[in-house]
């Protein structure tokens, strides 16, 4: 079975109506920056997880499920 990259994070963004543009703004980053992370070209930083995870209401104990690949 092929795992989709950041499927849980993308699913939550879709469910809550947060666009990539808005998520990037929340993180204080560009859309390209976020796109690179969502497509596994770069890793999310702790700061990224704190800003976006906090906005989306993701408990810190679940960040690994949303901000890592696997």
Residue 31 has which token pair? 């859309």
**What is the reported pLDDT for 70?**
60
Q: What is the DSSP letter of 57?
A: T
Question: Average pLDDT of 14-38?
Answer: 97
Residue 10 has which token pair? 């993308």
Question: Average pLDDT of 41-64?
Answer: 96
Taking the domains of the chain in order of start, what are their residue ranges?
Answer: 7-67
Q: What is the CATH number of domain 7-67?
A: 1.10.260.40
Please tell me the distance from the alpha carbon of residue 18 to that of residue 65, in angstroms, as a whole number: 18
Give strand ranges (E) for 1-70.
Answer: none
Q: How far is CA 23 from CA 3, 36, 44, in A?
A: 22, 13, 13
């Amino acid at each position: 079975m092929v795992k989709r990259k950041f499927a849980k994070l993308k699913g939550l963004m879709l469910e809550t109506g947060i666009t990539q543009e808005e998520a990037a703004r929340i993180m204080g980053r560009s859309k390209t920056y976020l796109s690179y992370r969502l497509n596994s070209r770069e890793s999310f930083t702790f700061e990224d997880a704190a800003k976006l995870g906090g906005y989306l209401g993701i408990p810190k104990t679940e960040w690994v499920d949303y901000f890592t690949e696997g």
